[in-house]
Amino acid sequence: MTQMTLISINGKEVDGAALLDFLQAQRRADVVHDFLVFNLMMKSAEEYKIQVTDAELQKAADEFRKSRDLVTAKETRDWMAASRLSDQEFDALVETEVKVNKLKEKVVAERVGKYWAEHGVEYDSVKISQIVVQSRSLAQELKAKLEDGETAFYRLARDHSGDTSSKDAGGYLGILRRSDLTAELQGQVFAGKKGDILGPLELGKQFILIEIHEVRKAKLEDVRPDVEEAIWQAWLEEKLS
C-alpha cells in the first residue's frame, strides 16, 4: 500500500504527492518549485537545529508589521483578515521567516570565504565612457585629438558617437562590473587605470574608444548583500538539483 504524505488545506487533509502531480499537470511549475524550495529550507533548518526564541519571534513580528505599514493592532487584524490568516498561521509565517533568515546566515557563513576567493574579482567595478563609430580611421582621428589635448572625450562623444543610449551623456556608461563587459573588453579595461584612453577596439562592425574614470577593486564589506544572495541562490540550486 502506498504511503501518503498528508497536508492540511483549509482544515482538510490532502495527499501532498497528489497535489504536486496536479500542479505539474496544470503547468504550475512556479508553484511546484516554490513548494520544493520551502520544503528544502524547512528540512535544512531542522538539520541545522535552528531554534527561534520568543524574543526573536516578537522582533520579527514587529518588523513584519512595520514593513507593511501595519501601525495599529486594528490595521494588523484587518490585514490578517484580508489574507485569511489566523493568529496561529500568522505566528507560523513569521517563525518561518526567522528560520529562513537564520538558515541563510549559516549557509553564507560556511561558504563566504571560499566563494569570495573564487569570485571576488567578479565584483570589481569601473567607471568608463565610450565613443562608438563605424570606421577605424575616424576612431584613430578622434583618439589623436584626445592625445593632443585638442578637446575633451565627452565633447567628441556627443558629436560623433553612434551609441544613442550614452551619446547625450558624453558617452558615460556609469559603474560597470566585469559581467557587464564582453570578455574581450574585461581584460583591457580592468588592466587600465584612471585617465587611460583605450582603443580603437573593434567589436563587430564598430570601433570603440574607452575613457577610464576609475578602476575599483571590490571589498567584501561593500558588496556583501549581493555576495550573500549569490551564495544563497547557488546553495538552493545545488540542493534542488
Q: Grid coordinates standing for 33?
A: 518549485
All residues at 6 or more sequence positions from 100 whose CB lies less than 8 Å from its CB, including other chains: 41, 45
Contact 154, 129 (CB under 8 A): yes
Q: What is the CATH number of the domain that holds 177?
A: 3.10.50.40
Question: pLDDT tens digits for 147-181?
Answer: 999 999 999 999 999 999 999 999 999 999 999 99
Question: pLDDT tens digits for 43-55?
Answer: 999 999 999 999 9
Distance set, CA 208 to CA 64, 117, 163, 202, 238 (Å): 49, 32, 10, 6, 40
**Looking at the structure, do residues 193 and 234 belong to the same domain, yes or no?**
no
Residue 17 pLDDT level (bands cut at 50, 70, 90): low
**Looking at the structure, do residues 110 and 163 belong to the same domain, yes or no?**
no
| pTM of the model as a whole | 0.77
Residue 26 domain boundaries: 1-45
Given this model, what pLDDT does residue 31 score? 74
d(CA 108, CA 111): 5
